[in-house]
Structure 1
Amino acid sequence: MPPVSGEAAQRRGMLLALASACAFGTNIVSAQIAGQAGLSGPVLVFYRVLIMLALIGLAAAALRASLAVSRAERPAVLVFGVATALVGVAYLSSVSFVPVSVAAVIFYTFPVVIVVAEPLLTPAPFRADRLAVAVIAFLGIALVVGPDWRGLDPRGLALAALASVSAAVQFFAAAGCARVATVSKLFWSHVVILPVTVAILLLVGGFLPVTAFALAPIAVAVTFGGYLIGFVLQILALARVAPGPAGLAFCAEPVCAVLIAAVVLGERLGPLQYAGCALVVAALVVNVTLEHIRRTPAPTRRRA
């Protein structure tokens, strides 16, 4: 996988991040439907990891691709796998205790966390304009999902917060292993995710056989498909774009989720939700524009 460099790579990376966000946007709606049928978040994560490993194994065999990872890059892949497991389990489980809207608002603090932490964990300088865009996008998300904070279960709040922190860690770890081949990264990260998920399932005693998918087959299929597509696109995006701008691109995910819920579940959107959608879209446009402006002056100065 090529390193993050060049205008074309950045542009492709941002498009891949937005496409990944839209694919993941299907997950929370279908996961809620599956959860109402009795399929917990850890169960869904466990089986989708098995499916991903099987598909990666077939792809590696067909392409005769090496799964080797250098010793120096293994810690980043390990952290990436653990963080990914915690994001999936915590976020999908949080909606069993709190409304989707509340879980989404808490979870989508992660772009703000990334922007604040980026100058501390990477050579990237702090950018006040990027933080402002992150805050605007978060406010838009809050308007989109319109959470009701009354009588909330602390377990759901804690799980959503854990998912948010884990997502921030995931983005930085992905940047740390950007040079690892995509097939290897997908395979070994899911090898790490599997035992973490199994341990959580044993802890909560929530394992179910495959036949349980018959309780909500369409919701399960959408959840798995959205994850498989979204995760592959996310891997490709984070190999091309730094954590800060990539994290902001993923603010499109809850907007997609709300729009999907409106179409599939017949949920009606109010004026504030439409205003929130517009605010998030505006923040995404500003984010892309700022990234473009930052990259264009340097070549201009060299020509002068």
Structure 2
Amino acid sequence: MSSSSSANGLLLALGSASLYGLNIVYAGAATLAGVPGPALVVYRVLLMLVLVFGAGWLMRRSLRAEPGERGTILVLGIATAFVGLCYLSSVAFIPVTVATVVFYAYPSLIVLMSPLVDGTRLTPRLLGVVGLALTGVVLVVGPVFHGLDWRGLALALAAAAATATQFFAAARCRKTTTLAKVFWVHLIVLPTALAVGAMSGQLASPAAFALAPFAIAMTIGGYLVGFVFQIAALGRISAVAAGIAYCVEPVVSAVASTLVLGETLTPIQIVGGALVLAAIMANILSERQHAASLVPTD
């Protein structure tokens, strides 16, 4: 893998994480305005399918999955469906802040699973970077550990495991085009999104979007572009590097919430954000040093 491809992949991952961070803030604003969360999920999946199919038709690009990667794309789609299903369900049993911290254990899971999945060698430096990032996430989110229900913890941990699976699967699909991967993943996710919306009784009509048009546009737009960036990034960098980069998502959410929702950042949250950024920079430098060591010298 070329250094330019890795650099582009890292930029795409950071862009995707930032868009996801903005997405959740505007989703919160839309919910406060009375737009049900499950309805947002269903409509964004439907819109993604329409846009991807239309883009494929206009650009005359095939949406065919490569024969050798169809099983992996199926795993990617199922994992993506479970991420949303388990994460959204977990907050019915435990506080959102606790669910977020448990969920953002997935970079650690990726690192710990990488020797088994990718044959990656665990180094003290890599473990230190992950520990630094995880500490920063905990400080940014600032969880209050009370009223915990094992079902919520299990669901949040399942969402983290599904995300790790999603990253590994996406990183292994390098022949199928990004457009095709996005299409098939959302085709697999759609039944789950519809089922959750039906069971929750929150499948609102599109007319409900008039309650908060800007927030909804930002939510759906952030997700659409963020997911495309994510799939494109995971075709260029390792799951481990991407997992660490995505720790920036809660930092962006915390900063955006001060601007959009009028919340305030505490000094501890600011320190946590700095730790996350330090971990990402440390990982970038480590990746560059590793790449340089592989270049033959005269």
Range class of TM-score, shorter chain: over 0.9
- Secondary structure of 1:296's partner? helix
Q: How does 1:1-20 map to 2 (within 5 A)?
A: 5-20=1-16
Runs of 4+ residues over 6 Å off in structure 1: none
Paired-residue identity, %: 46
Cα distance in 2 for residues equivalent to 1:65 and 1:120: 35
* 8 Å CA contact retained: 2:132, 2:276: yes
1:8-46 Cα offsets, whole Å, 9 max, x none, are 111111111111110000122222333344544432221
Change (3 A) 1:52 1:17: same
Which segment is superposed worse, 183-192 or 247-256? 183-192
Q: What's the offset of the Cα at 1:176?
A: 1.7
Aligned with residue 60 of structure 1, among 47, 56, 63: 56
Equivalent residue letter for 1:221? A
Cα distance in 1 for residues equivalent to 2:44 and 2:95: 23
Cα distance in 1 for residues equivalent to 2:142 and 2:169: 31
Change (3 A) 1:160 1:212: farther
Cα distance in 2 for residues equivalent to 1:44 and 1:159: 21
Change (3 A) 1:163 1:237: same
Residue in structure 1 matched with residue 156 of structure 2 by the alignment: 160
Q: How does 1:86-235 map to 2 (within 5 A)?
A: 86-95=82-91, 98-152=94-148, 156-235=152-231
Cα distance in 1 for residues equivalent to 2:64 and 2:240: 28
Paired residues, number: 298
Aligned with residue 28 of structure 2, among 26, 32, 36: 32
Equivalent residue letter for 1:239? G
Cα distance in 2 for residues equivalent to 1:100 and 1:29: 13
* 8 Å CA contact retained: 2:172, 2:235: no
* 8 Å CA contact retained: 1:28, 1:92: no
Per the normalisation by structure 1, the TM-score is 0.92
- Secondary structure of 2:280's partner? helix
RMSD over aligned CA atoms reads: 1.9
* 8 Å CA contact retained: 1:41, 1:93: no
Equivalent residue letter for 1:63? M
Q: What's the offset of the Cα at 1:210?
A: 1.6
Cα distance in 1 for residues equivalent to 2:189 and 2:224: 14
Per the normalisation by structure 2, the TM-score is 0.93
Which segment is superposed worse, 179-188 or 145-154? 145-154
Change (3 A) 1:149 1:215: farther
Equivalent residue letter for 1:35? T
Residue in structure 1 matched with residue 42 of structure 2 by the alignment: 46
Q: What's the offset of the Cα at 1:277?
A: 0.8
Cα distance in 2 for residues equivalent to 1:226 and 1:96: 25
Which segment is superposed worse, 261-270 or 283-292? 261-270
Residue in structure 2 matched with residue 303 of structure 1 by the alignment: 297
Q: What's the offset of the Cα at 1:202?
A: 3.4
Cα distance in 2 for residues equivalent to 1:45 and 1:38: 15
- Indicate whether 1:289 and 2:272 are aligned: no
Equivalent residue letter for 1:230? G
Cα distance in 2 for residues equivalent to 1:90 and 1:222: 23
Change (3 A) 1:160 1:220: farther
1:133-171 Cα offsets, whole Å, 9 max, x none, are 111101001011111122245554444222211111100
Q: What's the offset of the Cα at 1:124?
A: 2.3
Query: Which consecutive residues of structure 2, in runs of 5 or more, have no partner in the other structure?
Result: none
